[in-house]
């Protein structure tokens, strides 16, 4: 659920600080097809590795959670190590390794000391190349996913987002209702997991980044060594789904036993590689970023509505999505929905003035910079951008691009977003 409480003091300080150019980034593609981005940060005392795999919603077109299941089995038995040996090795490198699936894709992340960098990279490479998807790992992963499905089914934000995507992407993998996949999950077999692994966890779908106290030469040498034998047969790539045009979006109202109601609007917006992505981030800040946003002023200050409210960008291969939501008492949900609709429509009919626009640009730029505080996060964003057509250099260039966003850019992106949106209200059953 989106909260309206932001680290405003830290953000204000950060916004006033000049942006120093970061260390140079080295990009290349390994012979196997894996894209790589390296940034040497001497003296940091850490080495962060991030691998992104383009195996999100499109790798689970039926909504069975097969890609999630496959992701959770990566660090079980493999060709060279047993599951026990794998996790003993993970522990020896620092134990800080995560592997997460979402509709956006797979993110494998590890932070260790520079001396154990090669050990950590070896474990990750083995998982990508040689995981065996042993039966014990598959069974344990099924139990864990089942528990997460039950938790998500009671989470208003998860329920609302799933309903909104179902409306915005009808008939596509991005609109599949995965919160109701218990039966399909139980039917999955180890053979299904192996097929998903072979089809989607492929070198050309992987991007790896290394950030920290590891020289570029050393990191490149390790990558070339550990991924030299990463080979799989090519498979046909599925087309990317487009958002459904909705001049007047249908209102959905899933019932959920809860003490509050969540009003959510999901707007389709340009993907990160688009020229209009900086405008989408600025529009998000204008809409619901902090106490100066339109949502806060028109809902909280003018009407006193909303326990928590705000807007954020959530990425999918099908394109960036702006999610605006407000949590209210059930008795105020109808009024909150009416005001939120007006705020969204006002993005087109009431363009921002220069002062409001400058606040939104600074907020968007500062929030993005704050998201780079940890080595793990810097490695993620470097891998993310390296996997786009813009390349890893787009990471550092984004702040400058945001500073050039105009009111005309905001209106153009808002007009397209308002025409591709979904609206959901989740709350207790009404009598």
- Contacts of residue 168, defined as CB under 8 A and 6 or more positions apart, other chains included, come to 174, 175, 243, 244, 246, 266, 268, 321, 420, 421, 422
Residues of the chain with CATH 3.30.830.10: 23-226, 251-426
Structural contact between residues 122 and 80, judged by C-beta atoms closer than 8 angstroms:
no
Terminal CA-to-CA distance of the chain, rounded, Å? Answer: 26
What pairs with residue 98 in β-bridges? 109
pLDDT at 11: 44
3 state SS for the chain? CCCCCCCHHHHHHHHHCCCCCCCCEEEEECCCCCEEEEEECCCCCCEEEEEEECCCHHHCCCCCCHHHHHHHCCCCCECCCCHHHHHHHHHHCCCCEEEEEECCEEEEEEEECHHHHHHHHHHHHHHHHHECCCHHHHHHHHHHHHHHHHHHHCCHHHHHHHHHHHHHCCCCHHHCCHHHCHHHHHHCCHHHHHHHHHHHCCHHHEEEEEEECCCHHHHHHHHHHHCCCCCCCCCCCCCCCCCCCCCCCCEECCECCCCCEEEEEEEEECCCCCCCHHHHHHHHHHHHCCCCCHHHHHHHHHHCCCCEEEEEEEEECCEEEEEEEEEECHHHHHHHHHHHHHHHHHHHHCCCCHHHHHHHHHHHHHHHHHCCCCHHHHHHHHHHHHCCCCCCHHHHHHHHHHHCCCHHHHHHHHHHHHCCEEEEEEECCCC
- Contacts of residue 4, defined as CB under 8 A and 6 or more positions apart, other chains included, come to 288, 290, 291, 296, 300, 306, 308, 309, 310
For residue range 400-418, what is the model confidence (pLDDT) as tens digits? 999 999 999 999 999 999 8
Tallying the residues shown for the chain, one arrives at 431
- CATH architecture of the domain covering 23-226: 2-Layer Sandwich (3.30)
pLDDT at 18: 46
In 225-262, which positions are buried (b, 16+ CB within 10 angstroms) versus exposed (e)?
ebbeebebeeeeeeeebebbebeebeebbeebebebbb
pTM for this structure?
Answer: 0.88
Give pLDDT < 50 ranges for the chain: 3-18, 237
pLDDT at 15: 46
For residue range 79-100, what is the model confidence (pLDDT) as tens digits? 676 777 777 777 777 768 899 9
pLDDT at 4: 43
For residue range 324-337, what is the model confidence (pLDDT) as tens digits? 999 999 999 999 99
Q: The domain 251-426: what is its CATH number?
A: 3.30.830.10
pLDDT at 6: 39
pLDDT at 55: 94
Please compute, for residue 68, the number of CA atoms within 13 A of its CA located in the half-sphere on the CB side: 25
For residue range 117-129, what is the model confidence (pLDDT) as tens digits? 999 999 999 999 9
């Amino acid at each position: 659920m989106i909260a309206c409480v932001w680290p405003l003091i830290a953000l204000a300080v950060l916004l006033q600080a000049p942006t120093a150019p970061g260390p140079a980034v080295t990009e290349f593609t390994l012979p196997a097809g894996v894209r790589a981005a390296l940034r040497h940060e001497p003296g940091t005392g850490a080495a962060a590795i991030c691998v992104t795999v383009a195996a999100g919603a499109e790798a689970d077109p039926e909504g069975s959670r097969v890609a999630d299941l496959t992701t959770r089995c990566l660090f079980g038995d493999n060709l060279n190590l047993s599951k026990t040996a794998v996790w003993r090795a993970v522990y020896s490198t620092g134990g800080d390794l995560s592997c997460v699936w979402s509709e956006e894709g797979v993110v494998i992340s590890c932070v260790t000391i520079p001396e154990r960098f090669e050990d950590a990279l070896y474990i990750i490479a083995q998982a990508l190349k040689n995981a065996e998807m042993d039966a014990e790992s598959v069974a344990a992963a099924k139990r864990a996913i089942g528990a997460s499905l039950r938790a998500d089914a009671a989470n208003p934000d998860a329920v609302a987002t799933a309903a909104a995507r179902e409306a915005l992407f009808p008939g596509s993998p991005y609109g599949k209702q995965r919160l109701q996949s218990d039966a399909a999950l139980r039917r999955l077999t180890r053979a299904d997991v192996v097929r998903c692994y072979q089809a989607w966890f492929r070198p050309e779908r992987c991007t790896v980044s290394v950030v920290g106290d590891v020289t570029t030469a050393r990191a490149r040498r390790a990558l070339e060594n550990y991924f030299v034998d990463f080979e799989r047969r090519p498979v046909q790539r599925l087309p990317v789904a487009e958002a459904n045009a909705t001049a007047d979006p249908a209102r959905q109202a899933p019932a959920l036993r809860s003490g509050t109601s969540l009003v959510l609007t999901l707007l389709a917006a340009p993907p990160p590689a688009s020229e209009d992505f900086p405008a989408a981030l600025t529009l998000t800040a204008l809409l619901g970023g902090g106490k100066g946003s339109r949502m806060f002023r028109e809902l909280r200050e003018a009407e006193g509505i909303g326990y928590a409210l705000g807007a954020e960008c959530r990425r999918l291969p099908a394109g960036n999505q702006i999610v605006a939501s407000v949590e209210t008492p059930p008795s105020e949900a109808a009024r909150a929905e009416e005001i939120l609709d007006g705020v969204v429509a006002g993005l087109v009919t009431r363009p921002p003035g220069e002062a409001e626009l400058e606040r939104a640009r600074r907020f968007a730029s500062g929030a993005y910079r704050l998201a780079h505080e940890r080595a793990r996060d810097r490695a993620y964003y470097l891998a993310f951008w390296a996997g786009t057509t813009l390349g890893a250099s787009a990471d550092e260039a984004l702040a400058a691009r945001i500073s050039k966003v105009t009111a005309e850019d905001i209106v153009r992106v808002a007009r397209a977003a308002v025409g591709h949106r979904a609206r959901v209200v989740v709350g207790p059953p009404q009598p």
